[in-house]
Amino acid sequence: MKKVLIAVLICLSSTAFAQVYVGSNFHNGEEKRSYSILTTQNSKELIDDLEKYLGQYGKVTKPSKNTYRIQNLKGNSVSSDLNYVDVVSKSTKKMEKLEFFFLNDAHNALSDNELNPGAAEKFVSDFLQYNQSQAQARLRAENVSLAEDELKEGKKEQSKIEKSIENNLKEQQKLGKKLDSTPELMAKAMSEKEEIISQLSTDSTVVIDDKAKNEISKASQKKDKEISKIQKEAEKAEDKLSKKEKELEDLKKELSIAKMKVRALEKVVSDAKSLK
């Protein structure tokens, strides 16, 4: 029901300014009777629609700049005296104007007596209807394009979060391997330290000079630093892993929201494409 109402409002708003004005205009150096329309529509789109509309009735030529002509109108119901339909395009910064001239073989404008009742107005009104139909089609296409762009951005956002999750899991795996290897590294370092210390506890018959004792002490201290470093790196890895696990939970929530957004935008695109 809402779509129908919107469509009706769109049609009403586009026809509110759609009117055929009958009166004199200047053409080929003379004042002639014409049927005009005024619009604020884009000039290029208006002329494209005009040429397509006129093309249904015959070959469109341009006898002069901004003048579009059909000779020998196909299915002519306007007048038996009709030879040419000239449409002159004029514009200002705020307005586009099309002047329709219905001419005989001498390029004189046909009078009311020479025109079939209402036929000229209908020819111009039919163009207005065609133009409005094309304008709505362009708006619908633009609406689809807008919805598709929003969907593209939504999918891009989802992909970015998925990539972050992938990187997070890789980092967790890396940290996990580091923590798994810590006990082995600690055991090796402790064993090497014990081996160094054991050199000071050898048989009393073996004399160890001060220089050797000093070297052994330095080696022991070096191992202490190595053990301390392993412990600190393990603590650092545990802290990082904890943060990555928390980050992963947040990313999963973000991904869930992003997926919901993409599904919603897919529905928006589908609805935009279904507009008639």
Q: Which residues, 6+ apart, have CB-to-CB distance to 234 below 8 Å?
A: 178, 179, 182
DSSP string, 170-233: HHHHHHHHHHHHHHHHHHHHHHHHHHHHHGGGS-TTS---HHHHHHHHHHHHHHHHHHHHHHHH
Same domain, 267 and 177: yes
- Whether residues 68 and 165 fall in one domain: no
94 and 30 part of one domain:
yes
Pair (110, 216) in one structural domain: no
Give the pLDDT confidence score for residue 6 in this predicted structure.
Answer: 43
The predicted pLDDT at position 17 comes to 52
Tokens of 130: 């065609």
The CATH number assigned to the domain holding 18 equals 3.30.530
Quote the domain boundaries for residue 110: 14-117
Check residue 276 and give its pLDDT.
74
What is the bridge-based pairing of β-strands 84-91 and 96-103?
antiparallel
Whether 105 and 33 share a structural domain: yes
- 72 and 167 belong to one structural domain: no
Query: What is the mean predicted confidence (pLDDT) over 237-257?
Result: 94
Instruction: Let me know how long the chain is.
Output: 276
- What's residue 202's pLDDT? 57
Residue 5 lies in a domain: no
Prediction pTM value: 0.69
Rounded to 5 degrees, what are φ and ψ at 114?
-90, -15
Domain end, chosen from 69, 94, 117, is at 117
If you average pLDDT over residues 118-125, what whole number do you get? 95
7 is a domain residue? no
Does 34 map to a domain? yes
Query: Could you give the number of structural domains in the chain?
Result: 2
In percent, the amount of the chain with pLDDT more than 90 equals: 68
Residue 34 confidence (pLDDT) above 80:
yes
Question: What are 140's two structure tokens?
Answer: 């619908």
Q: Say yes or no to pLDDT of 97 above 70.
A: yes
**Alpha carbon distances (Å) from 71 to 34, 46, 203:** 17, 21, 125
Arithmetic mean of pLDDT, 3-28: 62
**Residues 93 and 158 placed together within one structural domain of the fold:** no
Residue 198 lies in a domain: yes
112 and 160 inside one domain = no
| pLDDT reading at 13 higher than 80 | no
Mean pLDDT over each residue of the chain, to the nearest integer: 87
Please indicate, yes or no, if residue 65 is contained in any of the structural domains: yes
**Residue 203 within any structural domain of the chain:** yes
